[in-house]
Amino acid sequence: MDWMKFKSGSDVRGTAVGENAVLTPHVAACLGMAFARYVAQKKDKPVTQVTIALGRDSRISGPELLRGAAEGISKAGANVLDFGMCTTPAMYMSIITPGFQPDGSIMITASHHPYDKNGLKFFLEEGGIDGKTVTTLLEMASGMEPEGMAMAGSITEKAFLPTYMEQLADRIRKGLDTELAKPLLGLHVVVDAGNGAGGFYAQLLENLGAWIEGSQFLEPDGMFPNHVPNPENAEAMASICGAVKKVGADLGVIFDTDCDRAAVVDADGREINRNRLIALISAILLDEKPGQTIVTDSVTSSGLKKFINDWGGEHYRYKRGYRNVIDEAIRLNDEGISCPLAIETSGHAAMKENHFLDDGMYLVTVLIVRAMKLKQQGLTLGSLIADLKEPVESREIRLNITAEDFREAGKVAIQKVLDYANAADTWHIAPDNREGVRISFDLDGGLDNGWFLLRLSVHDPVLPLNVESDVPGGVKEMLTSLYMVLEGCEGIDLAPLKKAIEA
């Protein structure tokens, strides 16, 4: 077995259902055993004194994989806290919550991926582990043989979600500066959990006085029968938008399966995700303290940059990948640059006030606090981003790399674009170009009103291409120019680019 095929960035992931299943309870047991021993080494204490917490989302393979991981941990001699159904952010919070405080934790989840996938996310006191540590764990697991070993450590079922819910409730009361039992009286919120792990959030809001009529898909169902639990999915967003309009709610919130990502919907049924979501939370944070720096991934729009600047902040684009933006935000703070937020266009958001934990439910909680304050003024969340300039046209195209050495072929293509841009007066390399190549254009007599970003995918043999224009026809004009530069570039399938131009 090639254990490295399980690696997906800083996670482990694979098919866990059906005849092609590779992520089995045996694999989970080996990884559980490896993680227990790794934590013991890192903390320099006997493995028998190590405790690892386990949780899972609603996937149908979750119970078996959790059981496998628990057995592996126990056979290593460590102790297990079985949280059962949980969220990814809660698994980290348990490590720093008195009364729990395991030495590490594992979440069984594959985020928004189809029902037959699953995975493992690992946490230590300092946060989620990085890709290098995942490689180490996989190498260790490949040599484990848990079969036939006795289970030496204890396995204890213990609920953590009620404690996590109270932490979120405390954040709402703190944000509204009240000790009232029901501080959300008068606010109507529709919750869509997509049959993932986050359905309890509706109960939390109702306990605090909110009206939750119209909430949907709250019951965990690992087959995800209603829509893909993904705030970037068009069908999922259409569903929550329709639900909000149907009942006349003040806002709607939607989570992915394990609740580390989220999006919201305004009272008029307009989705607030991607650039709008970044703008919204940025406006709230900059309203509280101007002059701060907002770290995002590389594919955010030029309109967002202007919006953040107009709110008195600095927009700092960085590489895609939620760990990348989080680590960069932490680095900036260490250098003395005040940075309260690291957020990806996909909805991954981590706030300094929340340990830079990638937590979509905490983000939504902060937004609900502001929604309640705005409701008291007769306003909605959408009013905060009324001035956000959005592109007239936008596209995302994925160019497959057919060369055997896909990284080298991708780098050659990007360098070809850079070389052309350096020699062309009409192509302007973005000053904050930190990933791939971002080129801006002056279209139709305007200034800096179009751009594209071509980059190499973190994991796959693909060149993702994002392009936006503030004028009609601009996307086609830029794509045509790019096609001329890349034509003849070996090992790159330009058919999707050509198709987009001809459409």
pLDDT digits (tens, 9 = 90+) for 407-433: 999 999 999 999 999 999 999 999 887
pLDDT at 136: 97
Q: How confident is the model at residue 98 (pLDDT cuts 50, 70, 90)?
A: very high
Average pLDDT over residues 494-501: 96
How far apart CA 422 and CA 424 sit, in angstroms, is 6
Mean pLDDT confidence for 269-293: 97
- DSSP string of 115-177? TTEEEEEEEETTEE--HHHHHHHHHHHTT---TT----S-EEE---HHHHHHHHHHHHHHHTT
Cross-strand pairs, 56: 85, 108
C-alpha to C-alpha distance for 313 and 84, rounded to whole angstroms: 41
**Could you give the percent of the chain with pLDDT greater than 90?**
94
Average pLDDT score, the chain: 96
State the pLDDT at residue 59: 98
pLDDT at 458: 72
pLDDT value at residue 103: 98
Give yes or no for a contact between 265 and 251, defined as CB atoms under 8 angstroms apart: yes
Residue 262 has φ and ψ, to the nearest 5°, of -155, 165
Distances (CA, A) of 499 to 106, 341, 468, 495: 43, 38, 17, 6
pLDDT tens digits, residue range 135-147? 999 999 999 988 8
**For residue range 324-343, what is the model confidence (pLDDT) as tens digits?**
999 999 999 999 999 999 99
Could you tell me which CATH number the domain at 3-159 has?
3.40.120.10
Please say if the pLDDT value at position 467 is more than 80: yes
* Averaged pLDDT, 455-482: 94
Over residues 205-227, mean pLDDT: 98
8-state DSSP, 454: E
pLDDT for 106: 98
User: Residue 20: its pLDDT value, please?
Assistant: 93
Topology alike, domains 3-159 and 164-385: yes
Closest CA to 86 of 195, 170, 200: 200
Give pLDDT, residue 146.
Answer: 87
CA–CA dist 13, 76 (Å, integer): 22
Helices (DSSP H) in 212-359: which residue ranges?
234-247, 274-288, 302-310, 322-334
Alpha-carbon torsion, ordered 446, 449, 450, 453, to 10 deg: 140
pLDDT tens for 363-413 read: 999 999 999 999 999 999 999 999 999 999 999 999 999 999 999 999 999
Whole-number Cα distances in Å, 168 to 85, 89, 93, 252, 368: 17, 12, 11, 17, 11
Helices and strands: H and E segment counts in the chain: 14, 22
Query: What are the sequence ranges of the domains in the chain?
Result: 3-159, 164-385, 393-502
pLDDT of 188 > 90? The answer is: yes
Backbone phi, then psi, for 258, in 5-degree steps?
Answer: -105, 5
Torsion of Cα atoms, 91 then 96 then 101 then 103, to 10° = 80
Domain 393-502 bears CATH identifier 3.40.50.720: no
CA torsion through residues 426, 432, 433, 438, sign = negative
| Predicted confidence (pLDDT) at residue 61 exceeds the cutoff of 80 | yes
What three-state secondary structure class fits 432?
coil
Specify the pLDDT at position 460: 83
Q: Could you give the 3-state DSSP secondary structure of residue 188?
A: strand
**Confidence band (pLDDT; 50, 70, 90) for 312?**
very high
pLDDT interval class at 459 (50, 70, 90): confident
Phi and psi at residue 69, to the nearest 5° = -60, -40
Q: What CATH fold (topology level) applies to the domain 164-385?
A: Alpha-D-Glucose-1,6-Bisphosphate; Chain A, domain 3 (3.40.120)
